[in-house]
Amino acid sequence: MNDAPALTALANNAVYAEAVQLAVDSAAAYYADGTSTLDDDAYDRLVRGIAAYEDDHPDEVLPGSPTGKVAGGAVVGDVPHLVPMLSLDNVFGPDQLAKWAASLERRLGRPVEAWSVEPKLDGLAISARYREGRLVQLVTRGDGTAGEDVSHAIGTIVGLPDRLVHPNTIELRGEVMMTTVQFEEACAKRQAHDGTTFANPRSAAAGTLRAQDRPYVCELTFFGYGALPYPDDTSEFAARLRELPHSDVMAWVAGQGVQTTAATPVAGIRAFTIEQVQARVEEIAAARPTLEFGIDGIVVKCDLAADQAAAGFSSRAPRWATAYKLPATEKITKLLAVEWNTGRTGIIAPRAVLEPVELDGSIVTYATLHNAADIGRRGLMLGDSVVVYKAGDVIPRVEAPVVHLRTGEEQPIAIPGVCPSCGDAIDASQERWRCVRGRACRAIASIQYAAGRDQLDIETLADTRIRQMLEAGLIADFADLFFLTREQILGLERMGEVSTDKLLAALEQAKARPLSRVFCALGVRGTGRSMSRRIARHFVTMDAIRAADAEAIQQIEGIGPEKSPVIVAELSELAPVIDKLVAAGVNMTEPGVTLAGQVAEAGAKVAALPLAGMSVVVTGAMSGPLEALSRNKVNELIERAGGKASSSVSAKTSLLVAGEKAGSKRAKAESLGVRILTPEEFAKLVTDAL
C-alpha cells in the first residue's frame, strides 16, 4: 500500500480561500444528505492541500478552515453529546502507521501493550442512547459536540435492537450504512418513485437516515464500534465498563444483541506488535472486494483503557487511535459516451466511455454498463457526473449518476434498434440483448477464440485465413475447420502446399486436445478457462456434460442457480457444433495429466492430490520446469493437482509461487504469513506427488 496520495496544491491566498469554501460546502452536503460535489478522495486531497498551505502561511489561516475540526466544521447539531464524538486522524501506509505508533509510545513513555484492529466502516457515525435497556434516542455525530436527533429512524435499522439483553443505561456508538442488497432495494424504490437512483450506499444511507416524509421506507444497517456509560453514571456497572479493554467492551456489545463486525470476514482483533497490526490491515484490505458493506480503511487503536486515558485527545481526534486509509474504490467522473458492441456469442453490451480518472491504482477510461435495462433503471444520461466503482481485480462499473450535479445539458443515451455489428434484428426478450443471429453474427470472433492458444491452439490459422474461409463459404463455425480438405485449403489465395500441410497437421493435433480445452473453445456463456477445467474434471466426458441438468451443473464450484440454466441452454444451442466435433473425431474426454505430460487416472480422488483445497497464486517470471509454460498452463497444472488458481493474494491464499520480480504480491504474502515457494520448489512438489 502506498503512502498518502498527492494533495491539491494551492498557489496563493485567493485560491486557498476558494478551496476552504469548497471544502466547507462539500462537507456540509456530505454530512447533511450524502450529496457532494467532490468524492472522498478529492475531498481528502483538497483538505491536505489546505493544511499544507496553512503550515506555510500560518498568518493567513481563515477561521472557517476545515482543518482540525470534526466534520470539517461544516455541521451544526442541536442535541449536545454526553461525551464529544470526534473524528480520527489518518495514515496512508505502513511507514506512516509505524511512525504514528512510535510517536504514541513516546507520548506514553512505554510500549503499547495491546492494539485493537477493526474495519473503518463507510457510513454515518451515530450515538444510540439506551435507558434501562430501551433505545430512546439516536443522534448523528454533527460537529462532535452536538448532533441531529434522528430518532424517527428507530425500528428501520437492522442490528440496532429496541431493547438490550440486559437493562443497562448506556450509549452505543457505531455506523449506520446500507449493505449491497439494501442499496439495490433502495435504488429500486427511488427509481419507482421519481425515476432517479442514489449515487452510492453512503449517500443513500445519509438521506434515508434523515428522511421523514418519503412515501417509501428504506432499510439501514448498524455496526457498533463502542460503548460508553453516561458521564453521571456512578454505578458499579459503569465503573467496570470504563476500565475494560476495547476488545472486551465489543464482546459485551455483541452479547447485548447489537450487531458488530465480529461475524464478518473483517472482525476486529487484538494485536500485540505493530507487525501484527500491519498483517491484519493487509488481511482486511484483501477482503474488502468481497464484503457486502463498504469500508474505506482500518481503525487502529490502543486496546487498554489505561493507554487511552494516558494518550488523551486533540481538538478533533483521540491521540490513541488512527484510521489507516485504503485507496479509493469509487470516484466521480464524467460519462462522455456509450459504445455498443456485439460479443462473440452475439450478446450486445454497452460500454461507458469516461473522462479518465485514477481509481484503485490505475487510470480508468472505460467501465461496464451491463445492458439497456440497467441504463434505464439507473437513469443515466450522456454528460452525467457518475460514480465509478472498482475494487481489487474487478472490472470498473458505473454505479449511478450524481443527480444533484446535473446542469440541464445532459442528453439521453441512444439505444440501438438493430445489432451494431451486422445490422440484423435484436432479440430483446431478456435483459441481456442478443443479435438474432447469435454466434453467427460474430462468427470470425467465435472462431478466432476457439483456435486461440489457450483453447484448441491451432497454429498457422491466421485471422485473415479465417476470414477467407468464411467469405468462401467453406466454414460457418469452428467445427467446420475439421472437415476441410486439402484441395479446399489449396484453393485459397496465398495458400501453397507447405502452408496447407502445416495447417492440416495443426488441425489434426487440435483434435487430441483434452476435453477442458474443447469445452472452453465452445465459448459457453458464463464459463472461461478455469471453469471449463472444473466442468471437464467433474464430468470427464462430453456425453456426461450434455446429459447434465441445471441441478447437476450446480455441483461445480462457482456455478450457482442463476448461471447453471444458462449453461444448459447454451449447450443445447451448441448441439449442432458439438455433434460435428464428435463426427470429426475430436477428443471428448478429460485425462489427468502431470507436469511431465504423463497420463494419470481421471478418477483419482481429489483429496489425495498435492494441492487439494488450496488457493494458489502465481506471480513473477517462472523458471526451471515451469519456464516454458504459459501462465494459463501453470494454472491448469494447479487445478489438475487439486488446487484453485487465483490472481490476487488474500487471507484465503494457501500458497504463493513467486518467480523473479514477484513484487507487491510477494510482499503481501509475507505480511499475511502465506507459504511461498520458488517455481522449482513448486514443480518438485507437484511432480513428486503426481
At 677, which CATH number?
3.40.50.10190
Q: Is residue 487 one of the residues assigned to a domain? A: yes
Cα radius of gyration rounded to whole Å, the chain: 30
Question: If DSSP codes are grouped into helix, strand and coil, which group holds residue 61?
Answer: coil
The pLDDT assigned to 603 comes to 41
Residue 679 CB coordination number (10 Å) = 22
Are residues 492 and 369 both part of a single domain?
A: no
Q: Are residues 62 and 84 in the same domain?
A: no
Q: Which residue has the higher pLDDT, 9 or 160?
A: 160
Q: Are residues 319 and 349 in the same domain?
A: no
Q: Look at residue 145 in the predicted model and tell me its pLDDT.
A: 87
Catalytic residues: 120
Same structural domain for residues 421 and 462? Answer: no
Determine the pLDDT at residue 221: 96
Measured CA angle at 208 (ends 203, 214), to 5 deg: 130
Helices vs strands, H then E, count in the chain: 23, 25
Cα 509–chain centre separation? 40
Q: DSSP 3-state helix, strand, coil percentages of the chain (rounded to 5)?
A: 40, 20, 40
Residues 214 and 110 in one domain: yes
- Asked whether residue 259 carries a pLDDT value surpassing 90, the answer given is yes
Residue 435 lies in a domain: no
Nearest-angstrom CA–CA distance, 566 and 572? 10
Note whether 529 and 520 are within 8 A (CB): yes
397 and 482 inside one domain: no
Indicate whether 68 and 84 sit together in one domain. Answer: no
Kindly report the CATH number assigned to the domain that includes residue 204: 3.30.470.30
- Which residues constitute the domain of residue 149? 79-325
pLDDT at 601 over 50: no
Cell of 680: 522449482
Q: Which residue has the higher pLDDT, 393 or 465?
A: 465
Report DSSP state, residue 660.
B
Question: Is 572 domain-assigned?
Answer: yes
pLDDT at position 596 is 35
The three cell numbers of residue 583 are 463426427
310 and 359, same domain (yes or no) = no
125 and 198 together in one domain: yes
Decide if pLDDT at 586 tops 80: yes
Q: Is residue 437 part of a domain?
A: no
Per-residue pLDDT reduced to its tens digit, 348-391:
999 999 999 887 667 889 998 888 888 988 889 999 998 888 76
pLDDT of 22: 82
Domain termination residue (choose one: 73, 88, 112): 73
Write out 110-177 in H/E/C secondary structure.
CCCCCEEEEEEECCEEEEEEEECCEEEEEEECCCCCEECECHHHCCCEECCCCECCCCCCEEEEEEEE
What letters, b where the CB count within 10 A reaches 16 and e where it falls short, cover 305-338?
bebbebbeeeebbbbbbbbbbbbbbbbbbebeeb
Do the domain assignments include residue 2? no
Domain count, the chain: 5
User: With contact defined as beta carbons under 8 Å apart, do 221 and 157 qualify?
Assistant: yes
- Asked if the model's pLDDT at residue 508 lies above 90, the reply is yes
Judge whether residue 502 has pLDDT over 90. Answer: yes
Structure-model confidence comparison of residues 53 and 9, the more confident one: 53
**402-436 residue pLDDT tens:** 887 888 899 999 999 999 988 999 999 888 899 99
Examine the pLDDT at 170 and tell me if it is beyond 80: yes
* Cell 447533511, residue located: 32
The answer to whether the beta carbons of residues 149 and 139 sit under 8 Å apart is: yes
Q: Whole-model pTM?
A: 0.61
Q: Are residues 531 and 608 in the same domain?
A: no
Q: What is the CATH number of the domain that holds 64?
A: 1.10.287
CB atoms < 10 A from the CB of 513, how many?
17
Three-class secondary structure of residue 653 per DSSP:
coil
349 φ/ψ angles, rounded to the nearest 5 degrees: -125, 135
Eight-state DSSP code of residue 629: S
Which region among 10-19, 133-142, 286-295, 579-588 has the lowest average model confidence (pLDDT)? 10-19
Q: What is the pLDDT of residue 1?
A: 44
Separation of alpha carbons 102 and 108, rounded Å: 10
Calculate mean pLDDT across residues 119-145. Answer: 92
Looking at the structure, tell me whether residues 88 and 197 fall in a common domain: yes
CB 648 within 8 A of CB 667: no
Rounded to whole angstroms, the Cα distance separating 553 from 525 reads 14
666, 656 contact by CB (below 8 A): yes
Q: Supply the DSSP symbol for 344.
A: T
Residue 300 has pLDDT above 60, yes or no: yes
- Average pLDDT of the residues in 207-215: 85
pLDDT band at 160 (very low <50, low <70, confident <90, very high): very high
Q: Where a domain ends, among 55, 73, 91?
A: 73
CATH number for the domain including 473? 1.10.150.20
Of 370, 403, 427, the domain-final residue: 427
Biggest alpha carbon distance in the chain? Answer: 99
Give the residue-averaged pLDDT of 492-500. 90
Show the cell assigned to 324: 489507516
3 belongs to a structural domain: no
Please provide the average confidence, as pLDDT, over all residues in the chain: 86
Among 26-30, 196-200, 270-274, the range with the most confident prediction by mean pLDDT is 270-274
**Comparing C-alpha atoms, which of 113, 100, 105 is closest to residue 311?**
105
605: pLDDT confidence band, cut at 50, 70 and 90?
Answer: very low
Whether residue 282 sits in one domain with residue 137: yes
Where do runs of H (alpha helix) occur along 523-641? 529-539, 542-547, 550-553, 563-573, 575-583, 631-640
pLDDT band at residue 667 using 50, 70 and 90 as cut-offs: confident
CATH code of the domain covering residue 379: 2.40.50.140
**Cell matching residue 655:** 500458497
Phi and psi torsions of 144, nearest 5°? 95, -25
**What is the pLDDT, as a whole number, of residue 182?**
94
* In the predicted structure, residue 146 carries a pLDDT above the cut 60: yes
CA distance 422 to 471: 15
